[in-house]
């Protein structure tokens, strides 16, 4: 069993009958959803709220009942992956392009559990380019404003065309090298007109499940 599967399935232990569960996006939480599907087939009664169309499709394949966010008041727990996790449990997310919905759902959950293999754990955020979701209108101007914060923004492209999120926006992947103050940068980015949201998740994770020395470990905020 690989690290992603180990931590992805470990998070399922926090899911109880009757819960409303935020379902993240990515290669690690994939295993969480697969395991939840097995438990649902075995009688577990939950409702899932997906963070992306891709996750919704996977959850449907696994037989997990889904609800729209507007149908509920809050989530009991959300489980998602991360592109980087620092020692303070701050995160960079958005490599899969679902950062806006992921942040909305994480914020709505009573408990936000992050699953990450050991390669995602770092001392300081920044080596992974920070995804910033922006509206299509005026993207060049928005990119220049973002660059003024000390990065090199690059429009995300797939198959020769700009990548478009489930919300109809573009993503700038911003190379900061090192992010000294995640909370300050998060605030400054979101003050730029045209920026919808950014992939910094500061003081958001309740618990991080990862692997150290071939053993699953959990860090709590």
C-alpha torsion sign, points 181, 100, 33, 26:
negative
For the domain that residue 185 is a member of, what is the CATH number?
A: 3.30.70.260
Give the integer Cα–Cα distance in Å for 80 and 83. Answer: 10
Q: Does 216 share its domain with 146?
A: no
Mean pLDDT of the chain: 97
Residues that are catalytic: 102
Over residues 48-98, the pLDDT tens digits come to 999 999 999 999 999 999 999 999 989 999 999 999 999 999 999 999 999
Q: Phi and psi for 56 in degrees, rounded to 5?
A: -60, -40
- The confidence score (pLDDT) of residue 214 equals 84
Model pTM score: 0.94
Please state the domain count of the chain: 2
Q: Are 28 and 211 in contact (CB under 8 A)?
A: no
Kindly state whether residues 8 and 94 are assigned to the same domain: yes
With respect to residue 210, please indicate whether it lies within any of the assigned structural domains: yes
Query: Do the domain assignments include residue 125?
Result: no
Whether residues 107 and 17 share a domain: the answer is yes
What pLDDT is attached to residue 213? 85
52 falls within a domain: yes
| Same domain, residue pair 216 and 165 | no
Rounded average pLDDT over 91-116: 97
Say what the alpha-carbon torsion angle 120, 122, 128, 130 is, to the nearest 10 degrees: 100
13: domain CATH number is 3.40.50.1360
Helix or strand holding residue 37 (H, E)? helix 29-41
Residues 209 and 192 in one domain: no
Collapsed DSSP state (helix, strand, coil) of residue 217: strand
Same domain, 108 and 206: yes
204 or 1: which carries more pLDDT confidence?
204
Q: Supply the range of the domain harboring residue 145.
A: 130-196
What does the block give as tokens for 108? Answer: 């709505």
């Amino acid at each position: 069993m690989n690290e992603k599967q180990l931590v992805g399935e470990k998070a399922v232990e926090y899911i109880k009958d009757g819960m409303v569960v935020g379902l993240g996006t990515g290669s690690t939480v994939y295993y969480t959803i697969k395991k939840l599907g097995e438990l649902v087939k075995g009688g577990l009664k939950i409702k899932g709220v997906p963070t992306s169309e891709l996750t919704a499709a996977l959850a449907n394949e696994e037989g997990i009942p889904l609800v729209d966010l507007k149908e509920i008041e809050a989530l009991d727990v959300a489980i998602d992956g991360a592109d980087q996790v620092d020692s303070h449990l701050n995160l960079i997310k958005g490599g899969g392009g679902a950062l806006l919905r992921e942040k909305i759902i994480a914020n709505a959950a009573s408990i936000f559990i992050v699953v990450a293999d050991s390669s995602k754990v770092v001392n300081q955020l920044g080596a992974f380019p920070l995804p910033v979701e922006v509206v299509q209108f005026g993207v060049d101007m928005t990119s220049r404003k973002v660059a003024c914060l000390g990065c090199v923004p690059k429009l995300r492209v797939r198959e020769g065309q700009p990548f478009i999120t489930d919300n109809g926006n573009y993503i700038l992947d911003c190379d900061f090298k090192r992010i000294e103050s995640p909370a300050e940068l998060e605030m400054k980015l979101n003050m730029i007109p045209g920026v919808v949201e950014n992939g910094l998740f500061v003081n958001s994770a309740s618990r991080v499940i990862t692997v150290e020395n071939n053993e699953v470990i959990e860090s709590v905020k």
